[in-house]
A and B are shown apart, each in its own frame.
Chain A
Amino acid sequence: MMGLPVPPGVMVRTDDGRPAFVCLRFGRKGEKPPPAIAQHVVEDDEFMAAGIVAFDCWIGNEDRHDRNLAYSREPKLDLAVFDHSHALMGCEAGGAVQRLTDSLDKTYVSSGCLAPLMTKGGAFPEWAKRVQSIDPGVIKNTCRAVSRVGAATHDEAKAAEEFLLHRRTRILGYLQKDASALPKVMEWGLA
């Protein structure tokens, strides 16, 4: 929806009937590329790096590090962004609704590995626009579908829906509010 290189994934049922999300194996011949060197990601494609920062800001991801980014400069292996399992609902069992409610306007910029390395902010408005352009109906449907298959409770899905819809139009504001997390960005390119 946003245009980030996220490998495709699907909802499945495990052997014991529990719902799960699996990401398809990616990389050449199904072999996962090495973790990204964050500096290389920013230097080689700062536009895409800005997209990842904006995406993590939207979904409340505090866990973006070199091992959930894959990229190689030489030889060139394409960037992949995966494993956002600590975003939205967090990783504390039963703590999802509390997290989503309490951190509705938390910036979620400073905790990733890319933000401190970014030097240009000109791409952020474009990514903020892309997040904003995602149809609210799609977000609602997705959250409800997750609840229907039993991957989240009704309350959790509702809180996630509100979280995403609330933040959807505020990405640029969060980035500016937490500008200290982007210490090398001097030019924001904002109107």
Chain B
Amino acid sequence: MSTEWLVAKYMPDLKRREPRNVGVMLRVGHRTLSRFAGERAGGGIDGRFLRGRVADVDTYRAWVNFWRHAVEDAGSLREVMQPTGDENYAVEYGGERLLGSDAREAEDMLDYLYATLVEELPEKEALSVAQLSENVLGRLDIADKVERGYRLNIPHERFTDRVRFDYRYVNRRPHLMQQVSLTLSDERSWDVAHAAAWSFEKAHGAEVDTSLIALVKQRQADDDLERQLLLLEEQAAVVDVGETERATENLRELLQLGTGQAI
């Protein structure tokens, strides 16, 4: 499956003609992903993060909404291209990658392109739960020691189910971790929370002395978020990977690092 991307540009001064990259739109198969400067979890544009970057935040928001609509509708991404000309906003073809497929890879690629083309140090809210989790594991210096995509066997009467966990790390005892993105304030976060809680429940039944950890990226607090976190806390320890330093210390304690030898 090929992956193509476009780069959204903003030219503040039409005389100086110095465009700046403000967003990336990516298409993987039939799926479209995008990220724009100032974008918050849930897709809204927060003008506070754009001060000094665009002349008028509402015009920028309107362009972002238009681009999102256009890439969803377009048969080919090239239809959305709008070369730099006499307008402040433009879209240029970014490139194409011919290999690679799965959904998580697409998210990672979007993160990579955004970080490379738009902002060298993307804001926390622009990073995916996968990137934030990897960041914390890296800070704990165990990124190369954890097992990724671990399959836990769950025996049933007639077959053995295999439940996937994002990470497994053994230190004194096994630790199973799931990335849980609760950034969307709609049913999708409930689906994610239910799926994670289900996998933890299965792990409880299958392995006796296993610690279970939810690596969560949260949205702004609301009633549903609180209930989603309570649901997860019934089954696992919850670590907010959006708060990098605190998450690092919490995970250090949960993984019993510094008190034992990693295997």
Contacts and interface: CB of A to CB of B under 8 A. Distances in A.
Contacts of A33: 59, 62-63
A18 B87 CA distance: 24
Interface centre among B56, B62, B65, B88 (most CB of A within 10 A): B62
B89 interface: yes
A28 B56 contact: yes
Secondary structure type dominating chain B contacts: helix
A34 B89 contact: yes
Contacts of B69: 37
Interface residues of B, number: 14
B59 A31 contact: yes
A37 B71 CA distance: 13
B155 to A, nearest CB: 52
A75 B58 CA distance: 6
A34 B56 contact: no
A34 B55 contact: no
B61 interface: yes
Interface string B195-209: 000000000000000
B58 A77 contact: yes
B49 interface: no
Interface string A149-173: 0000000000000000000000000
Given A35-B66, A74-B65, A28 B89 contact: no
Contacts of A30: 55
Task: Report, as a range, how many residues of chain A touch the other chain.
Answer: 10 to 19
A75 B61 contact: yes
B9 to A, nearest CB: 13
Contacts of A34: 62-63, 65-67, 89
Interface in A25-63: 27-35, 37
Interface of A: 27-35, 37, 72-75, 77
19 contacts: A27-B56, A27-B59, A29-B56, A29-B59, A31-B55, A31-B88, A32-B87, A32-B88, A32-B89, A33-B62, A34-B65, A37-B69, A72-B58, A72-B65, A72-B66, A74-B62, A74-B65, A75-B62, A77-B58
Given A29-B59, A73-B65, 17 more contacts: A27-B56, A28-B56, A29-B55, A30-B55, A31-B59, A32-B87, A32-B89, A33-B59, A33-B62, A34-B67, A37-B66, A72-B61, A72-B62, A72-B65, A74-B61, A74-B65, A75-B62
